Chains A and B, each alone.
Chain A
Amino acid sequence: GSGLLGRMLSLQVDSVQRWMEDLRHMTEVECMCVLQAKPIGGDEDGQQGELIVASGVGAGEHV
């Protein structure tokens, strides 16, 4: 039947092709979440101290 034919076709997928299909979605991401902090003391207002670079975990990367 056509089910078998479909199965046959799906078997044509080679290991390299399968790798490339995955690769097409794969990216090594930079930090995707930059949070800004508000210092409690209020006195350390330097721009550098305000920037928190959060880890990319949970930012939607599935690699």
Chain B
Amino acid sequence: HVRYRMEVSCLELALEGERLCKAGDYRAGVSFFEAAIQVGTEDLQVLSAIYSQLGNAYFHLHDYAKALEFHRHDLTLTRTIGDLLGEAKASGNLGNTLKVLGRFEEAVVCCQRHLDIASDISDKVGQARALYNFGNVYHAKGKSICWSGAEPGDFPEEVMTALRKAAEYYEANLSIVKELGDRAAQGRTCGNLGNTHYLLGNFRKAVASHEQRLLIAKEFGDRAAERRAYCNLGNAYIFLGEFEVAAEHYKRTLQLARQLKDRAVEAQACYSLGNTYTLLQDYERAIDYHLKHLIIAQDLNDRIGEGRACWSLGNAHTALGNHDQAIHFAEKHLEICRETGDRSGELTARMNVSDLQMVLGLSYTTNNSTLSEVKEMDYNLNGARPRISRRHSMENLELMNLTPDKMNAQK
């Protein structure tokens, strides 16, 4: 009788934990699961489910060390009791956790196990999931290396290899989910595949995938996904050198960001539009969007964004010959760079202020501290050279460096 009562209470605690997690209260869910484990059970399927759900709950709470611990317990248990389907799931969850922890080699082993089991038991859905996880691991691996200080546009071979593998796994996943008719999964994979191609520099392929993603997002009325697709498409078109098309996609991004009331994304879209119109040499429109970006950056207290906006505005006004406006923004840029400790930005801003002062014919003998620093710097740099002209050299932007497949695109 006593044992029976204990069994019930373990199950009851676990069910309450499950209910709480489903409701999104992972903290409370965790304590019920922990209590259930304390009570204990002889039903190893239930114990496996508790370990698995605890792992997932900790994952949601971003406590990945704990998530790892419980998914490991689940894997060991499922292997012990010979529960293949359970082992496949545990492997998948463990793989995801290891990926987040940056332990990609171990994650790959888990994905392979997941895939092997799913293939052995002809579980198509499981195979698709394993392939998707595989793709994500390689995608994350590639990204984690290219974030750690690689030269822009020139990713190391290791990154390219990982990203190529990611693309292969996403393609394999795609053919299964298409066969299964799972449109939601297809949309997700298309988005990831598009991003992988983008990072690989295959901008045409990126566009094709994101177009698919967009189509599926529209089918589902998923406006957040739609917005992501438009933004990704805009970025790809920039590197294809098709700036007008990019601008159209960024405008849709902006529209959706406003509908979804996502201010940060709205700011980013305005910033992208400002830069795109600068590439199109439509400086009035560029200024319009950079101002919109500036206002939101100020609202959000994003000083770095504000600095970027001022820098861009200074350059756009210089291009138009509005030197008074240009110097105003250059000085603001300088002020913000000093505040945020951006050394290279500070030097750029000082040069800009100094250039503009020359154009405006200001005296160098002013005792304004900014000006005297500028004077000293110019002296050190061996006097003036026609730096103003560099801003008119935007058409010489080193697109080639940034776009491996631009030459194909332009043929």
Contact = CB atoms under 8 A, between A and B. Distances in A.
Interface of A: 4, 7-8, 10-17, 19-21, 23-42, 47, 50, 52, 54-55, 57-62
The 7 closest A-B pairs by CB, nearest first: A28-B228, A27-B195, A30-B191, A38-B49, A21-B152, A38-B52, A36-B89
B344 A10 contact: yes
Nearest to B92: A36
Contact of B312 (A15, A27, A37, A41): A15
Contacts of A58: 62, 64, 100
A59 B100 contact: yes
28 contacts: A4-B381, A10-B344, A11-B348, A14-B394, A15-B311, A17-B398, A19-B275, A21-B152, A25-B199, A27-B198, A27-B199, A27-B235, A29-B192, A30-B187, A30-B188, A30-B225, A33-B59, A33-B96, A34-B132, A36-B129, A42-B45, A42-B49, A54-B56, A54-B96, A58-B64, A59-B136, A59-B140, A60-B100
Contacts of A57: 62
B86 A7 contact: no
Contact of B136 (A7, A33, A39, A55): A33
B86 to A, nearest CB: 7
Interface stretch (B1-9, B10-18, B359-367): B10-18
Contacts of B112: none
Contact of B390 (A10, A12, A36): A12
B133 A34 contact: yes
Contact of A40 (B49, B125, B344, B394): B49
A35 B49 contact: no
B146 interface: yes
A40 B11 contact: yes
B192 A32 contact: yes
B46 A40 contact: yes
A24 B93 contact: no
A59 B60 CA distance: 11
Nearest to B229: A28
Interface in B11-68: 11, 14-15, 17-18, 45-46, 48-50, 52-53, 56, 59-60, 62, 64
B48 A38 contact: yes
Given A10-B344, A24-B239, A16 B394 contact: yes
B279 A16 contact: yes
Given A23-B238, A27-B232, A60 B96 contact: no
A57 B15 CA distance: 27
Nearest to B278: A16
A1 to B, nearest CB: 10
B178 interface: no
B293 to A, nearest CB: 11
A36 to B, nearest CB: 4
B115 interface: no
B165 to A, nearest CB: 15
B271 A19 contact: yes
Contacts of B235: 23, 26-27
Nearest to A47: B125
Nearest to B83: A38
A14 B390 contact: yes
Contacts of A8: 381
